[in-house]
Amino acid sequence: MPNTYKRLGAINPSANTQTNVYVVPAATSAVVSTITVCNQAATNASYSLALMDSSQFNASAPAATFLVRGAVVPAADSIILTIGLTANANSIFVANTSSPNISFSMFGSEIT
């Protein structure tokens, strides 16, 4: 089972819009080692991250799927989460933020 180390996904979503950061491909597992949340604005902003199975994906993430809910990233700053999270095939990492000036990046490995 080969491992591929890489940036798994990166987005700069619209405000108040749940957006996919990364979808684990079919027949693949993933290990997320680091998630960065970068605030490129001069004001604080809130953000949320969730991990859900593709069968759970809908307009709003179910409460049990949140990894982070309503946390604040300070103005012109970044939050770096080092978590070592595993995910099965077809799992979806989603993000939401109160500001269009927040970007999310995920780094880790895919196992095929």
CB 111 within 8 A of CB 11: no
Q: What is the mean pLDDT of the chain?
A: 95
Predicted pLDDT at 58: 65
Among the listed residues 58, 10, 60, 51, the one whose alpha carbon sits nearest the alpha carbon of residue 30: 51
Residue-wise pLDDT for 86-101, tens only, equals 999 999 999 999 999 9
Measured over the CA atoms of residue 1, residue 10, residue 104 and residue 66, the dihedral's sign is negative
Residue-wise pLDDT for 25-69, tens only, equals 999 999 999 999 999 999 999 999 999 988 776 667 888 999 999
Predicted pLDDT at 56: 75
Ramachandran assignment for 94, one of left (phi > 0), alpha (psi -120 to 50 degrees), beta (any other): beta
Q: Answer whether residue 85 shows pLDDT above 90.
A: yes
Q: What pTM was estimated for this model as a whole? A: 0.93
CB 88 within 8 A of CB 26: no
